[in-house]
């Protein structure tokens, strides 16, 4: 008989804010939020410590709203490189307990500790040791959800461990009724839109979804309907794997603009910058792609507009102007001419760049020479050493983005 697996989902409490408190001891007993740059209209709360949350501050609300709730809150700008470094450090700590560690996000990771219990004690003892090791080495407090599979470990952490005094909770078939009592919106994989659909079908709790007729769910959503019902019943066959991110499916770049962009010429400048960065990343990773996607979001948050469309190129590429020409045509065709606030470009259907079909009528030698020249200069002197003159205009964002990670200062 196979031994039941023991899976951890470890989540770092208020990760960015916790790192900032560990970095600056003067913040320890004060409400702290990590937020973007309010001067560039990117003042969104990225993380709030537990003391700040007691004032009603939530992640993703505006900085102005947070300051109204708690005028004396300490606002810290993000240090993204530091958060990445601490996340990697935490991963290495986890690898001391098991070689099966799978990143889920920058502050959440799955661990299969089934075979580690003889070395580190039972699952609860091991979870406490893990919490202590992470806290002592990084100053960050981890909550641990435990389950026989990834989906139950995740929901154990999100719905119960985060509320427990010791930050640890196990969820399995013996106590799944606790999960079934929760509103269906608390289930992993159910967002606000899906919640409305399920409520409209008379499903208000996770238990209601778990017992809902499967055929009706499949008739509405196909295979996704079956996945929903299996999730509600705590069924998940996916293993914890270290190869999740080994094969990249797409390479993209997205930008939230510092102001409303309404002129085509201004949007065109930023679009070209995005395509240049996407092409550079493709070459850095050794890929070419054939499917170019472009998407924009309108500036009106109350009545959001925008589009997300894609087009397939006749041959693979990692040259910026090829990507730009395709993305620009999508923009011309689908943009409603209303002001936009964010813009994104990606390329997918990737393949190795060292083996591809060429077009006899394309200037491959010239493109490869230009790519090599660009990459050599950028690798040696940095991303601001060379960029197009259009980026020097008021619309350009290349210099500003070059000193950021994920849209925030390093």
Catalytic residues: 108
**Dihedral sign computed on CA atoms, order 181, 183, 186, 191:** positive
Longest alpha-carbon distance in the chain = 68
**Residue from 131, 206, 194 nearest 161 by CA:** 131
Residues making up the chain, counted from first to last: 410
Question: In Å, how far are 49, 71, 169 from 33, measured between CA atoms?
Answer: 6, 12, 27
**Residue from 376, 362, 349 nearest 280 by CA:** 376
What tokens were used for 13? 């409490």
**Annotated binding-site residue? 320:** no
Terminal CA-to-CA distance of the chain, rounded, Å? 50
Cα gap 278→264, rounded to integer Å: 21
What tokens were used for 146? 């435990």
**Annotated binding-site residue? 107:** yes
Cα gap 260→254, rounded to integer Å: 15
**Residue from 157, 147, 170, 155 nearest 206 by CA:** 155
From the annotation, which residues make up the binding site for Mg(2+)? 11, 107
């Amino acid at each position: 008989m196979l031994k039941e697996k023991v899976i951890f989902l470890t989540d770092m409490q208020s990760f960015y804010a916790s790192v900032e408190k560990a970095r600056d001891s003067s913040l320890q007993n004060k409400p702290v939020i990590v937020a973007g740059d309010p001067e560039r209209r990117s003042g969104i709360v990225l993380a709030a410590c537990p003391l700040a949350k007691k004032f009603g501050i939530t992640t993703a609300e505006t900085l102005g709203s947070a300051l109204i709730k708690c005028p004396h809150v300490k606002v810290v700008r993000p240090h993204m490189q530091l958060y990445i470094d601490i996340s990697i450090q935490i991963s290495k700590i986890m690898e001391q307990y098991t070689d099966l560690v799978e990143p889920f996000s920058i502050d959440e990771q799955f661990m299969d500790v089934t075979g580690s219990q003889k070395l580190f004690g039972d699952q609860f003892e091991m979870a406490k040791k893990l919490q202590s090791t992470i806290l002592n080495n990084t100053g960050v407090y981890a909550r641990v959800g435990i389950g026989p599979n990834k989906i139950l470990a995740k929901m154990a952490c999100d719905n119960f461990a985060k509320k427990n005094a010791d930050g640890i909770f196990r969820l399995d078939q013996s106590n799944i009724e606790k999960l079934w009592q929760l509103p269906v919106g608390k289930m992993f994989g159910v967002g606000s839109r899906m919640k409305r659909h399920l409520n409209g079908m008379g499903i208000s709790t996770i238990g209601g979804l778990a017992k809902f007729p499967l055929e009706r769910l499949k008739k509405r959503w196909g295979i996704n309907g079956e996945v929903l019902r299996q999730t509600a019943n705590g069924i998940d066959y996916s293993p914890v794997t270290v190869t999740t991110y080994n094969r990249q499916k797409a390479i993209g770049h997205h930008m939230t603009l510092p102001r409303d962009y309404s002129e085509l010429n201004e949007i065109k400048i930023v679009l070209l910058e995005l395509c240049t960065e996407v092409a550079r990343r493709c070459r850095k990773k050794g890929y070419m792609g054939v499917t170019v996607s472009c998407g924009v979001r309108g500036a009106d948050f109350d009545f959001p507009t925008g589009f997300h469309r894609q087009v397939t190129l006749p041959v693979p590429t990692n040259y910026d102007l090829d990507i730009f020409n395709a993305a620009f045509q999508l923009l011309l065709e689908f943009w409603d001419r209303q002001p936009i606030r964010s813009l994104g470009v990606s390329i997918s259907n990737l393949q190795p760049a060292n083996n591809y079909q060429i077009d006899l009528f394309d200037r491959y030698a010239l493109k490869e020479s230009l790519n090599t020249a660009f990459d050599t200069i950028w690798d040696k002197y940095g991303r601001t050493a060379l960029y197009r003159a259009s980026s020097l205009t008021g619309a350009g964002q290349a210099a500003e983005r070059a000193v950021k990670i994920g849209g925030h200062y390093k």
